[in-house]
């Protein structure tokens, strides 16, 4: 067993806040929509991976182990995380956009990464400019996004057809919509190893345990939140697409986290 340590003599809370912010707040962007897919591959991306079914507990998210038993999502069987995947959309900073991608600037206003005063990055590509920091923001603001209300995203690579089939067959339990999302830096969905738990005699799938496959470090969920319609109080509210249509318009995402 390794011992655990108090990190505060090594890093101040301010430094920890900046570390936590870095994956979720962009530094540079291309303000105009250039639709050039080749640009900005190494710059900031934020991928929203949407799932449906029972919202995992914080502990499941922490362990990377997700449980779904018969009756929680589907009335007859348990469903794996990939079976509950609704697809992804992305925010990037390169000016590119297509049906699943939006760009910071034209399609979403984001508050920029807060660097230590006087120690901001000084060099970057000529055609990129610094993303301004929201005047209200302090170091607790991990991310702050206002999506353009007119912009729609088509969720890509999900299992919406199968999910709609469960609804048609009268087998779907709960909300017929994405219920939670993960943020990652990679457009590929997190990878899971699934364990189908069977009844002893009938061999019916009574539940599924989905383990995050940690070989794919770059696909690990970095954050999790709930999804809901306008006014629902969910982490991410949708003005359109709180259903299995796969075409969504998110409203905003502001996440604050005070490290104490």
Partner 1 sequence: MTLMVHPAAFYESESLLQHSQKSYSRTDPNDKYMRYLEEKPALLVLTDDQGTILHSIVGKTSWKGNVFPPLGEEFDLGQLYARQKTGAASAAVIYQLDHQNKRPMTPYVPLLVFDTQRAYSEEVRNAGTVAKAYLVVDKYEHYSSEDITLWPDELWQGQAPLDINSLPEGVSYLMVSTGASHSDNAVFLSDLHLDPNTHIIRLVNDQMALCFPNLIGDWSDAKAQMMAIIADFPYVGHSYDEVVAKETPPVV
* Subset of 68-87 contacting partner 1 (CB under 8 A): 69-70
Stretch that binds partner 1, among 62-70, 97-105, 149-157, 158-166 (CB under 8 A): 62-70
Q: Residue 165 has which token pair?
A: 């089939």
Q: Tell the smallest beta-carbon distance from residue 183 to partner 1 (Å).
A: 8
Contacts of 133 (CB under 8 A, 6+ apart): 111, 112, 113, 114
Is 259 a binding residue for partner 1 by CB under 8 A? The answer is yes
Stretch that binds partner 1, among 31-39, 166-174, 188-196, 237-245 (CB under 8 A): 188-196
Q: Residue 90 has which token pair?
A: 């992305």
From CA 93, how far away is CA 45, in angstroms rounded? Answer: 7
From CA 170, how far away is CA 168, in angstroms rounded? Answer: 5
On whether the CB atoms of residues 209 and 195 are closer than 8 A, the answer is: yes
From CA 237, how far away is CA 249, in angstroms rounded? Answer: 9
In the complex with partner 1, which residue's Cβ is closer, 58 or 170? 58
Q: In the window 216-255, what residues touch partner 1 (CB under 8 A)? A: 217-218, 220-226, 234-235, 253, 255
In the complex with partner 1, which residue's Cβ is closer, 173 or 197? 197
| Interacting residue with partner 1 among 91, 92, 137, 142 (CB under 8 A) | 142
In the complex with partner 1, which residue's Cβ is closer, 52 or 160? 52
| Interacting residue with partner 1 among 32, 75, 98, 124 (CB under 8 A) | 124
In the complex with partner 1, which residue's Cβ is closer, 168 or 218? 218
* Strand order, beta sheet including 192-198: 65-69, 205-212, 192-198
In the complex with partner 1, which residue's Cβ is closer, 142 or 160? 142
Three-state DSSP class for 19?
helix
Q: Residue 51 has which token pair?
A: 């799932």
| Interacting residue with partner 1 among 30, 39, 45, 111 (CB under 8 A) | 45
């Amino acid at each position: 067993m390794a011992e655990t340590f108090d990190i505060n003599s090594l890093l101040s809370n301010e430094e920890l806040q900046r570390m936590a912010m870095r994956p979720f707040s962009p530094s540079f962007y291309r303000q105009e929509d250039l639709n050039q897919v080749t640009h900005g591959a190494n710059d900031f991306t934020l991928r929203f991976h949407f799932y449906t079914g029972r919202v995992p507990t914080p502990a499941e998210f922490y362990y990377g182990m997700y449980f779904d038993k018969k009756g929680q999502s589907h009335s007859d069987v348990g469903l794996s995380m990939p079976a509950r995947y609704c697809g992804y959309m992305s925010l990037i900073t390169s000016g590119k956009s297509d049906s699943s991608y939006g760009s910071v600037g034209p399609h979403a206003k984001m508050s920029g990464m807060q660097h230590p005063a006087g120690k901001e990055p000084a060099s970057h590509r000529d055609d990129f400019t610094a993303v301004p920091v929201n005047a209200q923001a302090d170091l607790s603001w991990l991310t702050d996004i206002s999506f353009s209300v007119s912009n729609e995203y088509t969720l890509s690579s999900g299992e919406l057809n199968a999910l709609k089939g469960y609804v048609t067959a009268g087998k779907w339990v709960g909300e017929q919509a994405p219920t939670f999302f993960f943020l990652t830096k990679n457009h590929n969905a997190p990878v899971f190893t699934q364990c189908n738990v069977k009844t002893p005699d009938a061999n019916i799938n009574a539940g599924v345990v989905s383990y995050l496959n940690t070989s794919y470090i770059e696909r690990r969920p970095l954050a999790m939140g709930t999804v809901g319609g306008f006014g629902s109080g969910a982490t991410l509210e949708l003005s359109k697409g709180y259903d299995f249509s796969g075409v969504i318009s998110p409203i905003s995402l502001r996440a604050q986290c005070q490290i104490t």
